[in-house]
Amino acid sequence: MSAWCKKPRDGGRKWWMKEISLWFIFTASVAHASQTAACEDFRPRAASAVLERASQPRSSFILITDGSAFSISLTKDLGERGAPGGVSVLTVAGDASANQTRINLLGVIQIGRQIQKASWRSTVVVASSDLLFLTVFAEAADEGRLVGSETRVLVVTSLALPEVRSLLGQSWVFSMCNAMLLNLPRDAADSRHNLFAHLPYGPTGPHLSRVASWTSASGLKFKSEVPLFPPKFDNFYGAPLNMTVHPFPPYWMEVESGRPDGSTVKRIAGRDYTMLETMAQALNFTISVMPDADWEEVILRVEQRRAFMSPMKLAIMPHLLKLYDFTTVIEPATLGFSMAKPTLKPRWQSLYYPLTDGVWASILAVLALVPVALILITKAGARMGSQSIRSMQRLVLEVAGSLVSQSSSGRGYDTSSTQVLLATWLIFSFIVSTAYRGNLTAFLTIPKYPDRPETLEQFIRTGAKATYPPDVVDFYNNFKKSDSYLYTTLASRMTLVPNFQVGLQEAIDLGQGYFYERMSLKLAIEEHFTSADGSTRLYVAGQNILPAYCAWPIPWGVPYKEKLNQFIMAFQAAGLIEKWTEDILKEARQESTAKQRRNANRKKEVQGTASDETDSDDDSEDSSSQGIMALTLTHLQGPIFLLLLGLLVSSLVFCVEILASWILKK
């Protein structure tokens, strides 16, 4: 096996030559070449014409040959012509055993993979007239991942078409990938060279189609408007395509729909199913859903290509890329957590919250200043000289009372100066008391709840335990291996639970966090943990905890990846992905509310507390009473504490007065 690379014409990259010998066998018989020269006069020219037409900007050619005389002439012609991204020639002797040929090809393919990484795009040309060599190449190229979703494959052979027809239809590389066959004639007198492509889908099923032909007189002529490498997945002609999924609401789920006759029928719904259904209508294929399976079985089906794809979003993680490929990004990874909402703790400071510290300080300062000013003004007017201290106490009480909307007697305010000051104070008292009452009502009915964790860092600081279902085991294993303190700490607190019902119930009862996909959490809470009035004791944290993205798993190297990506990007640009997600949640919310009302009505009927005639009235009363919240001791603890404090102080003062009176009488 040998390899050499020709530097690209633009000279933009630094190309290097690498020679690896697993089994160095390169045989070329000049005598044999001279004997068959008459049969191969047009072959290099025909192949060069096709390769010239297949050339793309910044693309490279990787030529894999079996060392035959024809491959030598093709190598020479292609090397002289070159390519925008360079030409690489990898040669493996084709006269070895099948096992040895496979070993040699795997070594060559590894070199080809390295060349592909340095190229924008590549076209793999395999030239051989040995059916065994072509068969082993197809298997080795698939195993070594030489043919990706954007890689083109051109098979150049002089084998008769019936000999290679079955290989083209059965091999994944030649049948499903972007591959073509240049069939060279054995007879030197026949100058026609045909170009074929195996199309896996068509009106009559899989078939071999002649795309073009080459003659020395007319050159390359196409049969129709079909391009050189015809698209194989623009139209599936109604063919059933296997889809494997693990049901995952709200993206893929089974729901019941009512029929006009009153019966119900099960159907598949969900956001990702809606996306797939839209693609199926545009590409004309039938959705064939394989039996439900767990994630391990789903991954195995995709990896082994038993399924066309898994139309279920999955987080793109490095270890998964070794097994299969992904479509373009659908959305960020939405792994999150749910916890119980913080409860409102009784606090006597509820009377204090409506105003800030600065406002309270200003009111107290003004409350101390105004009585003093009134006393000084009245004394200066010689109106208080004969009055007792009790009159001054009454003045202070009236000033303080007006602040809490108490009326004033108006006595002792005969002068203009006192009347102006009193009027100013009353206006101030009216504004402050009105603002306080309004804010107090708001603070009592819409109280200030304690802060709740919304990020992973905040959750870690709470010290709470975490639970997760079996679907999140893969994430849990990655958290344990992570270098991040947050992820390793989270993994040390996580406990496996069988399902979301157990996890969310423990979140309510034990104050734990339940980790799962955010939209699925919202749907589960809407359906199972939300009352008829729309209230729930759970919430979903607003921030995703995983800095990754989600996509659909697909087999590695499938050429229909580009077509799927086009649809997904169109959905994103139109905002349909977000809309379909919200529609599913809205439908679940409505269904949950209707289901709870139906259950409530059945319960009333069983208890005999409701009749058919009053059902509609009860429903209207229930709907009208939604949102009304009665004040509890949690809200009114402040006024009660203030009253008790006043009673305590007055009792102490009363005792002091009794004691003072008793002492004075002695």
Secondary-structure percent of the chain, ordered helix, strand, coil, rounded to 5:
50, 15, 35
- Whether residues 91 and 180 fall in one domain: yes
Assess whether 38 and 77 both reside in one domain: yes
Residue that terminates a domain, selected from 524, 547, 570: 547
Would you say residue 238 lies in a domain? yes
Which residues in the chain come in under a pLDDT of 70? 1-42, 69-70, 77-83, 94-96, 187-191, 344-349, 378-392, 407-415, 446-448, 592, 606-638, 666
The whole-model pTM stands at 0.71
Same-domain pairing of 43 and 141: yes
Model pLDDT, residue 276: 96
Residue found under tokens 């997760």:
468
Residue 326 half-sphere exposure toward CB, CA atoms < 13 A: 19
| Residue 602 and residue 477 share a domain | no
Q: How far apart (Å, rounded) are the C-alpha atoms in residues 250 and 454? A: 22
Reference 140, options 180, 93, 104, 177; nearest CA is 104
Instruction: Give domain status of residue 266, yes or no.
Output: yes
The tokens describing 238, both together, are 């109604």
249 domain residue, yes or no: yes
Two tokens, residue 272: 């990702």
CB 142 within 8 A of CB 113: no
Whole-angstrom CA distances from 290 to 246, 247, 280, 309, 551 are: 10, 11, 16, 11, 20
Same domain, 125 and 24: yes
Report the 3 state secondary structure along 406-435: CCCCCCCCCCHHHHHHHHHHHHHHHHHHHH
Residue 349 DSSP symbol: G
Write out the two tokens for 320.
């998964």
In a shared domain, residues 459 and 426: no
Is 664 a domain residue?
Answer: no
pLDDT of residue 347: 64
Domain of 175, in residue numbers: 2-222
Please tell me whether residues 92 and 172 are part of one structural domain. yes
Q: For residue 365, tell me if it sits in a domain.
A: yes
Does 113 lie in the same domain as 63? yes
Q: Minimal CA–CA distance to 43: which of 173, 183, 146?
A: 183
Q: State the total domains in the chain.
A: 4
- 498 and 566 within one domain: no
Amino acid at position 599, single letter: N
What is the rounded end-to-end Cα distance, in angstroms, of the chain?
A: 127
Quick check: is 645 in a domain?
no
What is the reported pLDDT for 17? 32
How far apart CA 564 and CA 570 sit, in angstroms, is 10
| Same domain membership, residue 13 and residue 38 | yes
Residue 463: the pLDDT is 93
Q: Looking at the structure, do residues 439 and 456 belong to the same domain, yes or no?
A: no
Distances in Å between the Cα of 317 and the Cα atoms of 83, 112, 300, 311 are 36, 26, 16, 17
Q: Which helix (H) or strand (E) holds 488?
A: helix 485-493
Summarised one tens digit per residue, pLDDT across range 96-140 is: 678 888 888 999 999 999 888 888 888 899 988 889 999 999 999
